[in-house]
Structure 1
Amino acid sequence: MIINVNWSPLRDAMLEALDYDSKKSDDSCDEYCTRVMILFSFLLRSSLLEFAVRIWCFSILFALIFPRIFVSRAIRTMSKLRCFPRDSNFGAVVLLFLVVPTFVVGIYLHGQKITYFLRPLWESPPRPFKDIPHYYDENVSMENLCKLHGWGVRDVPRRVFDAVLFSNELDILAIRWHELYPYVSEFVLLESNSTFTGLQKPFFFAENRDQFEFVEPRLNYGTVGGRFVKGENPFVEESYQRVALDHLIRTSGIGDDDLLIMSDVDEIPSGHTINLLRWCDDIPEKLHLRLRNYLYSFEFLLDNKSWRASVHRYRAGKTRYAHYRQTDDILSDSGWHCSFCFRYISEFVFKMKAYSHVDRVRFAYYLNPSRIQDVICRGADLYDMLPEEYTFKEIVGKLGPIPHTYSAVHLPAYLLQNFDKYKYLLPGNCKREHG
């Protein structure tokens, strides 16, 4: 972060405060103290950060100028000392002009990091999930796969409804829908002309609907107007849109015991996972899906802790669309979560300003395209944040950029079949387009 400080007023004000000449020592003292007060009034005409920086600069100037004044005006300096409180000392001056401003600037710049690092002291980890082992091989029959999980097999598979809120993730949506197409009976998509933060946006899906003709016979598409309430918590708008999606789901023809996938567009269940759940009997009423957690592309595997995606056996009047924890049961290795996986730098900027955690954009330079490109290729954090973990061991273990992975095994088939189009999502291709 670069802070521009105008040194001239600081220097002039300081020299004016220190450079005085009067015949009477009492008058000199009064005039000197008055000018010092003028200097401090200049320092106080600023915000908290500007005040701290000005104090910091003032202390540096004081250190540079004081020797010259002391040598050339030693005698008069002795008389000036009467202007300072008798109990003042050098340590207090250092504390006021160096330590305190440095502390204020440090807290302003890195306070969020300090808070996240100390998170284990004030927040306990959530209760652990009950992981269900996931068995799959394309050469194993569905009957045996269901038995491996302790479930029975159905004579007829359940219908599956895939419901998402859409913002602007066109490429990821195409990969998702091609992955799930053989198993989904109805695709439900809701789009708003407002971001969660209240910014107006186009109906991106409507403008590009011709790219998704393959799902048209099974598509239930709806729109909802934004509320555009300034200063409102973004999670309020997000909740409003999820309620609207819940209504759209009920109009799509879903019935009891149909499967409903609840997840964001970039949380992609694998096709064989959904096929397993639609064919097996006695599966849990609600089941979270543990997904491989990727950032920027499938080159940066963060962890295997993505859990918000879920599948529900629909119950009329009871099932509500949600994106929070709803059960303890979770099926391991069930797909992919590719967060901030965009083709264009402009899409990164849009999401950083649009989604619920906009408060993480603490400085304007976070949105600089050159910085974003550098962060992507390093696998670093766009918001310069520490890992969101609950133990010091996990925080320390995740410090620094995400290690590169060069395995493209077990990724969505449509992605690999169209590698020329989606090359930027594959390992070794971190450069983004400026569109």
Structure 2
Amino acid sequence: MSSVTKFCDKVYVMAEGGSHYCSKKSDDLCLEDSEKSLSMTRLKCLLRGLDVKAYLLLFMLIPTSLFFIYVHGQKITYFLRPLWESPPQPFHEIPHYYHENVSMENLCKLHGWGIREYPRRVFDAVLFSNELDILKIRWNELHPYVSEFVLLESNSTFTSLPKPFVFAGSRDEFKFLEPRLTYGQVPGRFKKEENPFIEEAYQRLALDYLLKQAGIQDDDLLIMSDVDEIPSRHTVNLLRWCDGIPPILHLRLRNYLYSFEFLVDNNSWRASIHVYQAGKTRYAHYRQSDEILADAGWHCSFCFRRIKEFVFKMKAYSHVDRVRFSHFLNPKRVQRVICKGADLFDMLPEEYTFKEIIGKMGPVPHSYSAVHLPSYLLENAEQFKFLLPGNCLRESG
């Protein structure tokens, strides 16, 4: 080793006027040190081979990567969802037959069901937050065939934010069904750090007790759905008259976003109708059977008149974790997103295959069809103009 070192010294003294640098010598030292695992000398040797540009690239790449993950981490997770989560078992789809000029006996027969001598009673039960406009459309759509409307509201959101009893303050607007209304209030528990779904489950349990106060009995029909999940009136009429329907039947609804201008898909399925059984039927909002009736109504999510109502729901509902940044709640941004048909939370579609995720990426296409919508909506089109195609601008207050 000493002879090699002396040789290098002589060569570099002659070639560079006194420089004693010898790459061979350095490499030998690194080679010797590399055998000492986790030593500082080894690290220095590794860094010695990097130039300034490499250092700059390294210090730029790491923070940039961390920032990208921070901003888009949820998108990455949703996009890769098909890698670790399989699609749920498909529903057994029941074709839906309807025409206003076909008798109820024939409609029941087309579905494979019999006809009853008299219709069942129907109870429509909802948890209410602040969706007054959609509630008017819902109850006017259903009131010819619903025996009792049951509404429960709390002074707390699912995320433990205080809220007024909105329905109580607007009850006079629903005098047309007051004789058939059972109204209840439940106090919030205001547990700030608790999972919002626990508060939601607590309020749904309270709704079970309110249904008993409303007088529901075995063999009555119970509609379980959020306020913005609206079964069509002919669907409810069909199920109250037909004999032999499934005891628990999910409803496939047309899925709209912000208004009836943005048709997302036809895959809203959480709404359901139950043949009530005391001690067995529990109010819930998840999958409870494999049977689903096609084209049974409308789901209009975030269909509010005012920007402040959008902001309130974003902070109030169970998926509040989707508000990752405060600027998501900026009113100007919310308005832009509504008119584009984009996602308020800047998220990718919640799908189970890459094909479906890619197919739904980007804004929801505009639809200019207002055919087969709730009749009350069209009869009062000026009042509910914000829900019809071509009217995306919202009131600020």
Letter in 1 for 2:291: D
2:190 equivalent in structure 1: 228
Q: Distance in 1 between matches of 2:282 and 2:211?
A: 9
Match of 2:366 among 404, 408, 411: 404
Matching of residue 315 in structure 1 with residue 277 in structure 2:
yes
Encode CA deviations 1:147-189: one digit per residue, 9 max, x unaligned.
0000000110000000000000000000000000000000000
Letter in 1 for 2:307: I
Q: Percent identity?
A: 75
Matching of residue 130 in structure 1 with residue 92 in structure 2:
yes
Match of 1:376 among 316, 319, 338: 338
Encode CA deviations 1:231-266: one digit per residue, 9 max, x unaligned.
111001000000000111111111110000000000
Q: Distance in 1 between matches of 2:286 and 2:57?
A: 47
> Where do 1:233-312 residues align within 5 Å?
233-312=195-274
Encode CA deviations 1:108-131: one digit per residue, 9 max, x unaligned.
010000000000001011000000
2:15 equivalent in structure 1: none
Displacement of 1:93: 1.7
Matching of residue 192 in structure 1 with residue 154 in structure 2:
yes
- Which aligned segments of 4 or more residues in structure 1 are displaced greater than 2 angstroms? 84-87
Displacement of 1:86: 4.3
Q: Distance in 1 between matches of 2:59 and 2:278?
A: 66
Letter in 2 for 1:108: Y
Match of 1:85 among 14, 27, 44: 44
Q: Distance in 2 between matches of 1:267 and 1:138?
A: 23
2:287 equivalent in structure 1: 325
1:160 equivalent in structure 2: 122
Q: Distance in 1 between matches of 2:280 and 2:306?
A: 40
Q: Distance in 2 between matches of 1:357 and 1:390?
A: 19
Structure 1 unmatched ranges of 5 or more? 1-83
> Where do 1:50-65 residues align within 5 Å?
none
Displacement of 1:100: 0.9
1:16 equivalent in structure 2: none
3-state SS of 1:231 partner? coil
3-state SS of 2:73 partner? helix
Q: Distance in 1 between matches of 2:81 and 2:212?
A: 40
Structure 2 unmatched ranges of 5 or more? 1-42
Matching of residue 426 in structure 1 with residue 388 in structure 2:
yes
3-state SS of 2:309 partner? helix
Displacement of 1:230: 1.4
Letter in 1 for 2:229: E
Match of 1:105 among 67, 78, 95: 67
Letter in 1 for 2:253: L
Letter in 2 for 1:333: D
Q: Distance in 2 between matches of 1:313 and 1:92?
A: 69
Match of 2:350 among 382, 388, 406: 388
Q: Distance in 2 between matches of 1:286 and 1:236?
A: 24
3-state SS of 2:44 partner? coil
Q: Distance in 2 between matches of 1:359 and 1:228?
A: 17
Matching of residue 342 in structure 1 with residue 323 in structure 2:
no
Q: TM-score, normalised by structure 2?
A: 0.88
Q: Distance in 1 between matches of 2:56 and 2:248?
A: 61
Match of 1:358 among 320, 327, 330: 320
Letter in 2 for 1:401: P
3-state SS of 1:85 partner? helix
Displacement of 1:95: 5.0
Matching of residue 178 in structure 1 with residue 140 in structure 2:
yes
3-state SS of 2:299 partner? strand
Encode CA deviations 1:275-316: one digit per residue, 9 max, x unaligned.
000000000000000000000000000000000000000001
Displacement of 1:92: 5.4
> Where do 1:31-46 residues align within 5 Å?
none
Give the paired residue count.
353
Q: Distance in 2 between matches of 1:341 and 1:220?
A: 25
